[in-house]
Amino acid sequence: AAQAIGKIPLDVQTMNIDLLSLTAHKIYGPKGVGALYVRRRHPRVKLAPQIHGGGHERGMRSGTLYTPQIVGFGKAVEVAIAEMESEAKQLTTLRQQLWEKLQTVENIFLNGHPTQRLPGNLNISVEGVDGQALLLGLQPVVAVSSGSACTSAKIAPSHVLAALGRSEKLAYASVRFGIGRFNTAEEIDLVAEHAIATITSLRQATQSQKSKVKS
């Protein structure tokens, strides 16, 4: 839900959601503030407080409320929902532009469904290339990740990619591109050009090393 708000429609009733967590910075709001939806009926979800003290937030989370952050979060939600449809179309177009350009290189695989995905998310696996090496090669030009921000520090390959049927080798060879509200078609071209050059260079280096080992 934290990734989905403002990007795809969310309805807690029709989707039968019991708990839903949101964070402001995912929709260009202030960092450090979020929200938790808790179903109150049919059935009611009961929670125990993790932070005790003054009884704020109906006793669920004590501590002085950071009003400026909350107001900023609320405004970010308003903007995200108002622009969701047009922004989703724009991000989908840019994502497809990037994917089409990357496909000019052999043995690059899309992770996830071609269309049933977040508009600005492109996750790929590149055969014959280590994901961390590709990440380092891209970083001078592109802000890119080898996984989600909350799990990218883990050494193990993504369990999500494993569940999608990717081999361990391809799971390690994955990178995620996140396209945002302020990105342009020109930037997508730059990213694609640099990514293709980096992939080609890494594959050539790997092949050269294999040849040396054989000789």
Residues annotated as part of the active site: 150
Report residue 143: phi and psi, to 5°.
Answer: -85, 105
Tokens of 54: 């003054």
Question: Which tokens in the block code for residue 12?
Answer: 């807690």
185-193 own/partner pairs: CB under 8 Å, 24+ apart: 185/94, 185/97, 188/94, 188/97, 188/98, 188/101, 189/97, 189/101, 190/141, 191/98, 191/141, 191/142, 192/97, 192/98, 192/101, 192/102, 193/101
Q: Are 195 and 139 in contact (CB under 8 A)?
A: no
Q: Which phi and psi angles does 20 have, rounded to 5°? A: -145, 120
Structure tokens at 22: 């949101």
Instruction: Please provide the distance, in angstroms rounded to a whole number, between the alpha carbons at the two ends of the chain.
Output: 53
